[in-house]
């Protein structure tokens, strides 16, 4: 099961002191993705574990009071979203659109977590690579965005090549590919 953990950092030195020390992660809990805002005030992680409680039991004592923490099984995130767009019931195109919706809503870290989930579940789809490019671009990771958009271009169907080429060109120019979502 994939778990999203969000951490609003309230004591910068204490939080990053623990994180930089790389605490030993228990067996059965695996860190899939780790994204921090540029100012390091919020961190979003994607975990593979049996339950959100298992992740909570590991992180709460480690992070302590240095951050306000929340944990969400990815299948249950955004229960207000129509069933077909929920991460547990969606295919690669639905997840991609859900990630784009999160970007439109200004939820960059959450969108990135959805794009990472999509890549984990459907690694061979071109749209998944385009989503990762959008996610990395939203987080200011231009080189990673370019890399994933190039991968999308390599496997995109003929009728989507022009679209992907346009996104790649915009990335090369340093333009925001998410601005017109």
Write out pLDDT tens, residues 84-110: 444 444 578 878 888 998 898 899 999
CATH tag for 1-76 (out of 3.40.470.10, 3.60.9.10, 3.30.70.100, 3.90.400.10): 3.30.70.100
Q: What are the extents of the domains in the chain?
A: 1-76, 81-181
- Report H helices in 6-160: 12-20, 52-63, 92-104, 108-121, 126-138, 142-155
What pLDDT score does 90 carry? 55
Q: Output the pTM of the full model.
A: 0.59
Q: What sign does the CA torsion over 111, 81, 92, 53 have?
A: positive
What fold is seen in the domain 81-181?
A: 1.25.40
Spatial separation of the C-alpha atoms in residues 155 and 76, rounded to whole Å: 31
Q: What is the pLDDT of residues 136-176, one digit of tens each?
A: 999 999 999 999 999 999 998 888 899 999 999 999 999 99
């Amino acid at each position: 099961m994939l778990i999203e953990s969000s951490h609003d950092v309230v004591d910068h030195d204490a939080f990053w002191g623990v994180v930089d020390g790389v605490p030993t992660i228990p067996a059965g809990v695996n860190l899939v993705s780790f994204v921090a805002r540029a100012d390091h005030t919020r961190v979003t992680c994607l975990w593979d574990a049996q339950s959100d409680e298992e992740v909570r039991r590991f992180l709460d004592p480690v992070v302590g009071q240095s951050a306000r923490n929340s944990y969400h099984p990815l299948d249950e995130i955004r229960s207000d979203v129509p069933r077909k767009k929920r991460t547990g019931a969606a295919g690669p195109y639905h997840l991609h659109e859900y990630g784009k919706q999160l970007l439109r809503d200004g939820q960059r870290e959450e969108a990135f977590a959805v794009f990472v989930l999509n890549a984990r579940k459907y690694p061979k789809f071109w749209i998944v690579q385009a989503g990762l490019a959008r996610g990395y671009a939203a987080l200011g990771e231009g080189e990673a965005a370019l890399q994933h958009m190039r991968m999308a271009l390599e496997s995109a169907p003929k009728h989507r090549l022009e679209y992907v080429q346009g996104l790649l060109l915009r990335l090369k120019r340093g333009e925001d590919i998410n601005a017109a979502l």
